[in-house]
Amino acid sequence: KIQNTASSVLEYSGTSAQTISNLNSTEVSSLVVKNTAGVTLADNLTAATVSINPDAKLTINADKTLTATSGITLNSDASGTATIINNGIIAATATVEQYVTTGRNWYISSPVTNATTASLSGKGSIYYYNEPTAEWLSPSDGSTLNPLRGYISRVTTSTGTVDFSGTLNNGYKSLTLTRTNAVAKTGFNLVGNPYPAYLDWAAVTTVNTGLMPTAWFRTQTA
């Protein structure tokens, strides 16, 4: 049994997978996840703040609730980005960072609901592809980002993070795709990953037989 109290800081920084369970108290002042091998929440837990380090991963088990009264932060830097997998309930708003560098375009999408262009506009220009007219367009200032739509963030100001704040996307998401004849790049739809976690492409293609099981990587670097 972990002897913690409501004022405790729980920090998980092991090098092999760890599980949060059998706690003395289900309330703590903060939860810090540093373990890149992964931490699983197997008990209900309430914390004032939750912070997940770059490249670290937190998984919420089914039927378990993580409550963060002052929010969750998924951190990102040059080494990687934090991951959270929600199979239960998260009662909190979150800030999800994405580390970006200048001198290139970044394909990016929103991992939270109701994020606006303000999440990206501080770093430069934003574009999305409109298949029916075969055009790259700029969304209106302050407009809401569609979590499944892919955007290009052209970073021109400084290297650092762009921050998305809101409720973490979870569960089923859908987007209507278009295929317009007689335009350039017929049927090209730029779609993004709407979740605050990486996608296992092998798992995605296994359950979606209409998708090719091949991934192409595009780079401007020779």
The answer to whether residue 36 scores a pLDDT higher than 90 is: yes
Q: Which residue, 44, 50, 55, is CA-closest to 73?
A: 50
pTM for this prediction: 0.92
Mean pLDDT throughout 70-81? 97
Structure confidence by residue, pLDDT tens digits, 133-158: 999 999 999 999 999 999 999 999 99
The answer to whether residue 52 scores a pLDDT higher than 80 is: yes
DSSP string, 13-45: --SS-EEE-SBS-SEEEEEEE--TT-EEE-S-E
Per the listing, tokens 């650092």 go with: 160
C-alpha span between 162 and 60 (Å, rounded): 25
Q: How many percent of the chain have pLDDT more than 90?
A: 82
Helix-strand-coil split of the chain, %, nearest 5 = 5, 40, 55
Specify the pLDDT at position 196. Answer: 97
C-alpha span between 170 and 194 (Å, rounded): 8
| 28-31: Cβ within 8 A, 24+ apart | 28/4, 31/68
Specify the pLDDT at position 61. Answer: 98
DSSP secondary structure letter of residue 92:
S
Structure confidence by residue, pLDDT tens digits, 159-214: 999 999 999 999 998 899 999 999 999 999 999 999 999 988 888 889 888 888 88
- End-to-end, the C-alpha distance of the chain in Å comes to 55
- Burial group, residue 217, by CB count within 10 angstroms (0-12, 13-18, 19+): exposed
The answer to whether residue 102 scores a pLDDT higher than 90 is: yes
Residue 66 forms beta bridges with which residues?
45, 90
What's the mean per-residue pLDDT of the chain?
94
**3-class state of residue 50 by DSSP:** strand
Mean pLDDT throughout 30-47? 97
